Amino acid sequence: MGTKVLTMLQPLWQGFPSVDPLAVSGSVSYSLAPRYESVRGARQFTRETLHRWELEEIFDGVALVVSELVTNALRHTSAVGTAAPCEPSHDAPAPPARLHLMRWSSRLVCAVRDSSDASPEAEEAGAGAESGRGLYLVDAFSDGWGWQPLANAPHGKIVWAQFRLP
């Protein structure tokens, strides 16, 4: 794995138990266009990756978490101004969000990088609300999650979730 990738992923190690970043046995990433169709693409990318890594049995939980993390990144990183969510702004083009999947011998990490400085927070959703439960689902379906501001960047963060492998 290149130095650039290790530098970009350095904030992830802060939230994990002791893990040697050089022990990553697989690492892939997927660029997320600023539109909601990217959620479907991220799930398909995740399905194909888990198939290659022979981890199909954990796809359902991982796909749900990926969907929530990607949706949140796209929703909360719409450009400054009055642009609708996931529509690019002409004032300040934000770098695209990116999904990273990393595999160690005993765990899988899904991480989504975006350009927002806002910390992810679980909100109380009313009984009839159509959104607001995403981080509760991430917490319920993963073995842990967290976030860190991007190192070496003026803006942005990485939100990650980890899964123990069978």
What integer best gives the mean pLDDT of the chain? 78
Q: Which residues contact 92 (CB under 8 A, 6 or more apart)?
A: 79, 80, 81
Residue 78 has a pLDDT of 59
**Class of domain 26-164 (CATH, top level):** alpha beta
pLDDT category, 88, cuts 50, 70, 90? very low
pLDDT at 21 over 70: no
Question: What percent of the chain lies above the pLDDT cut of 90?
Answer: 43
Each residue's pLDDT tens digit, 128-154: 545 555 888 999 999 999 999 888 778
Cβ atoms of 128 and 141 within 8 Å: the answer is no
Q: Whole-prediction pTM value?
A: 0.76
Q: Which amino acid would we find at residue 75?
A: R
Spatial CA neighbour of 160 closest among 152, 49, 38, 150: 150
pLDDT for residue 3: 47
